[in-house]
Amino acid sequence: PYAGIMFEVYSKADPLEILTFEFNMRIANATSMEVEIYTLKGPFEFDFANQTAWTLLAKSTVVPAPEGTGGVIVPMLEFNPVTMQPRERRSFYITMKGPYIDHTVDALQKTGELSMRGDQLDIFVGAGSNSYLFPNELDTTVDPQFAGVIHYRRSLACNQNIRSTDASFHFLSEEIASPALMAAVDNAISEAIGTLLEKDSLLREFKE
């Protein structure tokens, strides 16, 4: 296990919003569950020791993953989402205060080579760090592969995801239905829908 692991991710045809990370760790050996996650646009090869080049996404305490896989997850509310544009290559760095981060290894695959291919993104073989935060040098004993799950959301235009939708609104009124009353109700419904579209983070992603 390592105190830190850096790896690169490549997004494919659509914009992706990275929501949080789930990863395997040696929980039984850990004296701290604190984690920090950073990101850097492009490869980490020349900036692995330069903390100012990286953006902090999360400084949090991990919790057991809900699926019971034995891994841990960074709570989404404590993770600052980052959007990857189509065909963007971005580095991520997960670091803890001890050698608790687990990984997988394939002796035939080296740092920077493709390790996991997905429909929306690819993950590449990373590099490990034996020290907390940003090391002066990376460990070259093995070439670690990220062992975990990247939680993300894909942005789609409405016509790619929703063809049509219907909604019914029911209301009670002491007044007799009239054009003026129906116009007032229509305005109230429009305002309610507009407020929802502005405040809901998922609905804001839809495009006409």
Amino acid at 20: T
SS3 130: coil
Listed in sequence order, the residues at least 6 apart from 76 whose beta carbon sits closer than 8 Å to its beta carbon are 19, 20, 151
Using CA atoms, how far apart are residues 127 and 153, in angstroms rounded to an integer? 26
Residue 162 scores a pLDDT above 60:
no
% helix, strand, coil for the chain, step of 5: 20, 35, 45
Alpha-carbon dihedral sign for residues 141, 145, 148, 154: positive
**pLDDT at 54 (0 to 100):** 94
Q: What is the DSSP code (8-state) at residue 112?
A: T
Share of the chain above pLDDT 90, in %: 23
Confidence of residue 208 (pLDDT cuts 50, 70, 90): very low
User: Mean of the per-residue pLDDT values for the chain?
Assistant: 82
Using CA atoms, how far apart are residues 85 and 168, in angstroms rounded to an integer? 36
Between residues 57 and 190, which one has the greater pLDDT?
57
Residue 148 scores a pLDDT above 60:
yes
Q: What are the structure tokens assigned to 184, written together?
A: 């007032």
Confidence of residue 202 (pLDDT cuts 50, 70, 90): low
Using CA atoms, how far apart are residues 205 and 157, in angstroms rounded to an integer? 8
Q: What are the structure tokens assigned to 146, written together?
A: 């990220």
Judged on CB neighbours under 10 Å (0-12, 13-18, 19+), 28 is exposed
CB 97 within 8 A of CB 3: yes
Using CA atoms, how far apart are residues 98 and 120, in angstroms rounded to an integer? 32
Residue 108 scores a pLDDT above 60:
yes
**pLDDT at 69 (0 to 100):** 63
Per-residue pLDDT tens digits for 37-95:
999 999 998 888 899 999 999 999 988 887 656 688 888 889 999 999 999 999 999 99
